[in-house]
Structure 1
């Protein structure tokens, strides 16, 4: 797929780090499967991975932590 951000690079399968912030909570999820632009580094998540990320984020919010770093597990 062509990158919709830079419009010059093609995406390739890989892993990335996703950072989410809501209120005072920041969640960093490492090694997330994604399609990544070879030119600018923009990443694209599948619907399934996005759902898992949002579930992880909801669980993190329940712990009332300010920063949490986790590794993605498929």
Structure 2
């Protein structure tokens, strides 16, 4: 794995740690995933999809139902 001092991890070490932190999930940009809304800010919903940190999604993305209004 890393050298004896543990201060210079290899590229493979980093890849292994990254894969472990993602829990084997294969998320891709633009992919729709299920999550739980854990908070609301002024213009954003905070969503937990099971990764290290939560995501922020604009509330506008949820289609508040005001399409077609003048």
* Structure 1 and Structure 2 fold alike (TM over 0.5): no
TM-score by length of 2: 0.25
Q: Bigger relative contact order, structure 1 or 2, given CA contacts below 8 A and separation 6+? A: 1
Richer in strand (by share): 1
> Radius of gyration: which is bigger?
2
